[in-house]
Amino acid sequence: MVSQPCVSDNSILSVKRPPVSEGFIPEPLLDSDEAAAIMRIHPKTLQKLARRGVIRAVQIGKVWRFRASVIEEWIQERLAS
């Protein structure tokens, strides 16, 4: 969200900012190489699984990104079955 200036009642220029959520720490994303190393599979195999929707991921340009928590959940599901 882009901050936009606004004029208040006393004509002083101020900046509106989006509210800051307390305690929110975004989970870092892993690239294909890092995530594949955790899973002990080839990065291209992991990308193929992501493309098919077998494992959740996001593709940013040509690069796939994975949450470590999603990788862990996927491994646990496979171990439980």
pLDDT tens readout for residues 22-69: 777 888 999 999 999 999 999 999 999 999 999 999 999 999 999 999
| Residue 81 in tokens | 């079955």
For position 2, what pLDDT does the model report?
Answer: 55
Q: What are the angstrom distances between the C-alpha of 28 and each of 10, 63, 67, 80?
A: 43, 15, 7, 26
5 compared with 61, residue with greater pLDDT: 61
For position 13, what pLDDT does the model report?
Answer: 63
Q: Which residues of 45-81 are buried (b: 16+ CB within 10 A; e: fewer)?
A: ebbebbeeeebebeeeeeebbbbeebbeebeeeeeee
For position 35, what pLDDT does the model report?
Answer: 97
The answer on pLDDT for 74 being more than 90 is yes
For position 16, what pLDDT does the model report?
Answer: 77
